[in-house]
Amino acid sequence: MIDFELSPRIKGTKNMIHMFAESAVRPIARQYDEQEHEKPWDLLKMVQKVMGGGIAGALGSPEKKEKKEEGDQPKEKKPRETNLAGAITVEEIFWGDAGIALAFPGPGLGGAAVQASGTPEQKEKFLARFAGEEPSWGAMAITEPEAGSDTANLKTSAVLDGDEWVLNGEKIFVTSGKSALEDSEGFVVVWATIDKKAGRAGIKPFVVEHGTPGMEITKIEDKMGIRCSDTVSISFMDCRIPKENILGSPEVVDKTKTEGFKKVMATFDATRPLVAAMAIGVGQASLDFLKEKLTEEGLELRYGINPHRMFSIERDLMQMEADLKAARLLTWRALWMLDNGLRNDLQSSMAKAKAGLAVTRITQKAVELMGPLGYSRELLLEKWMRDSKINDIFEGTGQIQLLVTARRILGFTREQLK
């Protein structure tokens, strides 16, 4: 049964991270929005030392198992809350600033792919490096010029040549790709097909490490929002990696099965609720700021009265609050299911769709209600509006999430509902 009360441990973490975001992240948000592609290195190094793996230390990190000694009594089973705790941390850091938060070191989406698809040995090899004192980054490359939302249409190929895989193709919009490729411990998980005729069954993930010949950044994106975070295009030209760097089985046993593609989706089932948490953090920042400014002007929300007696601005604010709380509860449910080993593809898509739409509306309404001040660069509201839109796009667009939700609820296949 889902308990909507956070545990004392998570509450303590939430308060600590909020204070950190307020004192260390928020004050430099405008500076690193204007100085795109620059990183707050002092902050990043401090984060690595204190948090050991960035905002998503739990993301992509193998669970630690306690050693049992002979004669030990079985301990009372505690509720698993690793992913939920990670999402709470993400929300609070993104309350501070989305761009800086995305620039934090950590395994990122690449680590999530290793966690979802890798062997125990691969998890140890590729994820242990994020526990060091120096900042390290992982990234995931899946989107292509002709394969955005339709990930099944990937054209990047991987061909086995002796003891090496040879990758050829192009990936675009790789979050933290520049950081991962410039970091001596970094890597990019590249999704490629080993058998185009097999369709989705031929899609496999490969770990390509820093310094691998044939991998090159071809473009660094200039973006509307999350400007401190780097987003790049990467080309692979006869890029050779060790045979053992494929995550999961290299076999395409049955062309009617989609094991490789399912692992792509399994990665997203774990990360989409975290993207929803990112959106909630930005939405909460906008709502908190707006309510603070309106309180200074003497407006106090009158909860519990007839809506027909409310001012228009009160109804707007309460709708914003309701949308944000709904997104948060959907997100927590998806993460609770993930923590408890339950299938959560429907819930992950619902959380991502709701949060992306909610934060877009909330930040736009906040700018609108503040008038010219909301539109000016004097306040951070306009920045939050720019930062928010990406949450409705990356990790699967809002439209795709609604499509996935409809398929799951109605029981339709991809061919029946496109």
| Residue 159, C-beta contacts closer than 8 angstroms, at least 6 positions apart | 165, 166, 168, 194
Question: What is the spatial distance between Cα 366 and Cα 291, in angstroms, rounded to a whole number?
Answer: 9
What is 323-337 written as a DSSP string? Answer: HHHHHHHHHHHHHHH
Give the start-end residues of each E strand in 210-266. Answer: 215-220, 231-242
Q: Name which of 135, 142, 129, 141 is nearest 61 in CA terms.
A: 129
What DSSP element (H or E) covers 209?
strand 203-209
Question: What is the spatial distance between Cα 111 and Cα 130, in angstroms, rounded to a whole number?
Answer: 10
195-198: Cβ within 8 A, 24+ apart: 195/252, 195/255, 196/155, 196/157, 197/255, 198/252, 198/255
Residue 231's beta-bridge partner residues? Answer: 175
For this structure, is 395 an active site residue?
A: yes
Question: How far apart are the two ends of the chain, measured CA to CA in Å?
Answer: 34
Please classify residue 326 by burial: count the beta carbons closer than 10 Å to its beta carbon, then call 0-12 exposed, 13-18 middle and 19+ buried: middle
Question: What is the spatial distance between Cα 245 and Cα 208, in angstroms, rounded to a whole number?
Answer: 7
Helix axes 381-388, 345-369, angle to 10 degrees: 150
What is 140-163 written as a DSSP string? Answer: EE--BTTBSS-GGG---EEEEETT
The three-class DSSP label of residue 71 is coil
Catalytic residue among 81, 91, 144, 395: 395
Question: What is the spatial distance between Cα 312 and Cα 310, in angstroms, rounded to a whole number?
Answer: 6
Question: What is the spatial distance between Cα 37 and Cα 48, in angstroms, rounded to a whole number?
Answer: 19
Task: Name the CA radius of gyration of the chain, rounded.
Answer: 22
DSSP 8-state code for residue 23: I
Active site residues: 395
